[in-house]
Amino acid sequence: MPDPNTPETPVGGRSWFSVGLCMPHLAAKQIQKGGTVMRLPIDTQHLNFIAVGIPEAVVDFDTKQPRHDSDGRALYSLSIVAIGGEGADILIVKVAGLPKGITAGSPVKVSDLVATTWQMKDRNGVSFRAESIDSLGASVTPSKSSVTS
């Protein structure tokens, strides 16, 4: 049985490797309460990213107050499509500081992207964090013919 904490575990029918998101030789393990957490740096060199929405403030689940990183910067999340050689996936990426000039459909540059596994009781998953997300220019909008057809 495959280890659920390895990047070979399929996500959405494809593995992280097939989409080009993992660099397992750079993976670092850190021990936290209740188990092992893997931090997997992602090589974004051969990926394209498009914002699906606009950045939203990350809020604490219990207090509903904005969350901040260890340096006091407000955290924001942004849904993006990561497009690689074998397909695409939608990722929700957290970043410290409000990314500027990003609208739905904007091509973006994601720097220092890291996937981190997490586990809470009987639930587990992968979260994404980037050092920065920057707009690469005008948003991609559908043509009138594709909207009306």
Task: State pLDDT tens for residues 125-144.
Answer: 999 999 999 999 766 665 55
If one counts the domains in the chain, the total is: 1
* Residue 99 DSSP label: P
Considering the domain boundaries, does residue 133 fall inside one? yes
Considering the domain boundaries, does residue 4 fall inside one? no
Considering the domain boundaries, does residue 3 fall inside one? no
Q: Kindly indicate the confidence band of residue 34, based on its pLDDT and cuts at 50, 70 and 90.
A: low
Predicted confidence at residue 82, as pLDDT, reads: 95
Percent of the chain residues past pLDDT 70, beyond the cut: 68
Task: State pLDDT tens for residues 2-32.
Answer: 444 444 443 444 444 444 454 443 344 444 4
For residues 16 and 23, the answer to whether their CB atoms sit within 8 Å is no
Predicted confidence at residue 35, as pLDDT, reads: 59
Rounded average pLDDT over 93-109: 94
Considering the domain boundaries, does residue 99 fall inside one? yes
Task: List Cα–Cα distances, 79 to 8, 11, 142, in angstroms.
Answer: 23, 17, 19
Predicted confidence at residue 118, as pLDDT, reads: 86
Considering the domain boundaries, does residue 100 fall inside one? yes
Considering the domain boundaries, does residue 1 fall inside one? no
pLDDT, the chain, mean: 78
Beta bridge partner(s), residue 90: 81
Considering the domain boundaries, does residue 64 fall inside one? yes
Task: State pLDDT tens for residues 86-97.
Answer: 899 999 999 999
Predicted confidence at residue 120, as pLDDT, reads: 83
The neighbour count for residue 127, using CB atoms within 10 Å, is 14
10/50 Cα distance (integer angstroms): 23
Token pair, residue 103, equals 């609208």
CATH number, domain containing residue 39: 2.40.50.140
Residue 63 structural domain: 17-137
Considering the domain boundaries, does residue 55 fall inside one? yes
Predicted confidence at residue 86, as pLDDT, reads: 86
Predicted confidence at residue 97, as pLDDT, reads: 95
Beta bridge partner(s), residue 112: none
